A and B are shown apart, each in its own frame.
Chain A
């Protein structure tokens, strides 16, 4: 049995804003009956103030799909279109007190329906629907996947499937998903961390590697020293260190302190650096 929060159950059992707005200014439809969930969002816009006057939904899907749709309408009513567009699927999930990982695609569906409805009102194409179709089974494009990976800081293909459904059918698109993931991870590793994200082991290792290669090693090199990453085990980072005066234990300690300090501030405050002796 899924563990839904009380808020999810409340929005499921007493969904808000069901139906169609009285004057449809914008309409967004995502999902399909065959895919197992589908959402139709209609909005009524106050044209002078560019705000969403009213929003209503119709949803076919599981409890979390219905709750996410209901939450979405509550969140966007009264907002300007731009404010509404800045909502992410994370915001929808947070509004509901969280969703099971396997159900995160329900929040993504909400965000996409909103984007589609606003685009429809403005008479412009839907941005995330553009791009290359990656998952044929569930009709997901690369730009959609990229966005979801970024906003939710995903680190595995399995998570991409939980958030977008891509990869959950025949599985043929999985190599492509790997590629997109690697590309985005590479880019985001360079960006300063925004909201702290749940750090997976894989992500931690990637970040440590990145920090050593781009920051710490060059700094040591400048002083004639060097560092090599040997292994990462949880928060423990195993390295070989070479100082300018390699045999001097005191200087080694300062080296280790420097590396620890940098890794703690760049990657994770709990990191412990140990020196590896072959």
Chain B
């Protein structure tokens, strides 16, 4: 069975060219760049070159890049550095739709006595800018908003926000894990203080990430150790992966145009086709959105069962339903957007990349409608091609706080 991979926001396939670039570093080029002999000396230029390629994709200086192990480490490094370098500022601003790498720090921060404002979003997943502006104070140690949402692809106006933070002397971090390689960026011309990315979202392997730290920004390392990364991240450099990320960045820069033209067109065609299925709705702002992502709810059926049927045909996607998360509630992103539970449980995210083809979109458009039909035929909320008013629509307990 051929795999049709529409789950690139979860992770991507390592590009063969990336793998090829990495291989020598598992063989002859095994030196530690800190070593004072030729085995160390021979790898250093490769790291320098990799750093240059990544900085070119971001539009920043090579010295502004700190390599980490993943997106989560980059997010944590940024957050805790901002907190620890500004001990008298006890307030943070973030949003209600961030990745768990940020969200799960909020509880901890509150326990430590910090005030945290989690700015809301509207029905389209757009940030409430008024609420954000009201929240911004001289006490604010950090504002952290993702550049693009991993579930819906909705893009936040981070450059505008960075400017507002800069005017007030507030540090601004953006989790750009989903944006890098999909949206052109030029950090030199922005006021962003720190930016997180993860290699495995742009065809580099898992296990490598990076944090951009603007020159001159006060910084404290998260991983304390050796002098590596100019004292900003201890630990012997992950040479093969740094080289791999360099190659991936070079490819991503070259493919940015295609991502925003051909991939976007593929995504749009897939989305339009799926919206022909009755009772299907797009979650998220269709204007300010990543070119590769669509999130669609198929009402009255449940996401996991859709995924299993898709998987039967080799199609890989993901869902914001409760069942797929192992938790009992649907995705916090869809809930923050106020997507009704009736639709949230049936949400499917399809995220494309430059490897995807027209044939794959056609194949998927052929398989999808019968799957939805089959599941609706099983559903107690569906009868003869239309929803029924079933007593089961909401819980019979008036006090149910999940639905309200």
Contact = CB atoms under 8 A, between A and B. Distances in A.
Interface stretch (A90-98, A131-139, A149-157, A263-271): A131-139
B273 interface: no
A60 B301 contact: yes
A62 B401 CA distance: 22
A36 interface: yes
Interface stretch (B58-66, B181-189, B320-328, B361-369): B320-328
Contacts of A65: 302, 323
B312 interface: yes
A138 B328 contact: yes
B403 interface: yes
Contact of B395 (A35, A39, A60, A161): A35
B96 interface: no
A136 B345 contact: no
Interface stretch (A43-51, A164-172, A212-220, A222-230): A164-172
B244 to A, nearest CB: 26
B383 to A, nearest CB: 9
Interface residues of A, number: 37
B392 A40 contact: yes
A15 B378 contact: yes
Interface residues on B, range: 35 or more
Contacts of A136: 397, 399-401
B342 A34 contact: yes
Interface in A2-24: 2, 9, 12-13, 15, 18
Given A36-B328, A58-B380, A63 B305 contact: yes
Contacts of B341: 33-36
A102 interface: yes
B334 to A, nearest CB: 12
A59 interface: yes
Interface string B289-308: 00000000000111111001
Contacts of A59: 378-380
A169 B381 CA distance: 23
Given A33-B392, A58-B378, A168-B329, A139 B397 contact: yes
26 contacts: A2-B304, A12-B308, A18-B377, A29-B391, A32-B394, A33-B342, A33-B393, A34-B402, A35-B328, A35-B395, A36-B322, A58-B380, A59-B378, A59-B379, A60-B302, A60-B380, A60-B392, A61-B305, A62-B304, A65-B323, A103-B323, A136-B397, A138-B395, A165-B328, A168-B328, A170-B401
Interface of A: 2, 9, 12-13, 15, 18, 29, 31-40, 58-63, 65-66, 102-103, 133, 136-139, 161, 165, 168-170
Interface of B: 300-305, 308-309, 312, 321-324, 326-330, 341-342, 345, 377-381, 390-397, 399-403
